[in-house]
Amino acid sequence: MAVDVPEKYGGTGLDYLAYAIAIEEISRGCASCGVIMSVNNSLYLSPIMEFGNEEQKQKYISPFVDGSRVGCFGLSEPGNGSDAGAASTTAHLDGDHWVLNGTKAWITNGYESEASVVFATTDRNLKHKGISAFIVPKPIDGLSLGKKEDKLGIRATSTTYLIFEDCRIPKENLLGEPGFGFKIAMTTLDAGRIGIAAQGVGIAQAALDCAIDYAAKREAFGAPISKMQMIQSKLADMEVKVQSSRLLTWQAAAFKDAGLNFTKEAAMAKLAASEAATFNAHQAIQVLGGMGYVTDMPAERHYRDARITEIYEGTSEIQRLVIAGQLLKEFSQKV
């Protein structure tokens, strides 16, 4: 639950590549467990590790590294989705406390979490530069939870709303400086996309494993269907998707470990891996036929779990915008 957290705070002290590999393998078995781990590592622990002070790290990292507690991340709102700079949740300073009001949506780990990194507008006149980040312990007066969403996939996770009504948190729970919230959010999402990419690779690999196993055992016209060229073509395409998205994910993780800018690499990895997961899950059902459509086999779960990877932590459309933006920036620097 804390792969890349330094050992001094109770983590394993490994690098982001090791983290990506761990997420992939866990997601290969259960995508829900993979995203629980990803949210705690990438979206909760990571911003506190990078922007928090020593007191915040001791209080809000060390207790969250062994799996007994998890954190969550409050950025999305009912009305702002991909527009992360349009936070309607507000925070104002009242003496020694910040007072939060507003609603955060689609919060993974929302029910189980015992703390959250939350983003709120502290100065509307500054737009995205007026957004600040806060560490909010749970439970706390003024914070209530919405209903658990009944989701298509990743059903072993809780997804809910965080509802703030005059929620008072200590002044020292401001993460970073006032107005740094948007920067913290974007930096966090870059790293988080590597985790979701790894989840997508795990789902894609699991779907391929399922399809190969079934094709080798299922006989039609006197031979295993794995002997049929059409099935072989599907398996080959699935393997290419897995291997290419895995390498992109490892590249993004390696860039992060090397201290290089990895915004484009993380977006490419997330885009490729999420679409690989969706593609492979779809093809696995085609290989299994009717058996792919029932819960006796895992193919239908992979299909349901894969779909969210193209939506959360930046839709595929947003990833393409990020990639193109970075590409044009690189080009302009060369001419």
Which of 177, 313, 317, 330 is catalytic? The answer is 313
Question: For this structure, is 313 an active site residue?
Answer: yes
Residue 4: other Cβ atoms inside 10 A? 24
- Contacts with 291 (C-beta within 8 Å, 6 or more apart), sequence order: 214, 297, 299
Rounded alpha-carbon distances, angstroms, from residue 144 to 103, 161, 194, 197: 10, 8, 30, 31
How far, in Å, CA of 93 to CA of 86, rounded? 20
How far, in Å, CA of 91 to CA of 80, rounded? 17
Helices 31-38 and 16-29: crossing angle, nearest 10°?
A: 150
φ and ψ at residue 142, rounded to 5 degrees: 90, -5
Residue 117 identity: V
Residue 157 identity: T
How far, in Å, CA of 131 to CA of 77, rounded? 14
User: How wide is the angle at C-alpha 181 spanned by C-alphas 110 and 157, nearest 5°?
Assistant: 15
Residues facing residue 132 across a β-bridge: 120
User: How wide is the angle at C-alpha 316 spanned by C-alphas 312 and 319, nearest 5°?
Assistant: 100
- Contacts with 81 (C-beta within 8 Å, 6 or more apart), sequence order: none
DSSP state of 326: H
Of the chain, the end-to-end C-alpha distance in Å amounts to 44
How far, in Å, CA of 12 to CA of 36, rounded? 18
**Catalytic residue annotation:** 313
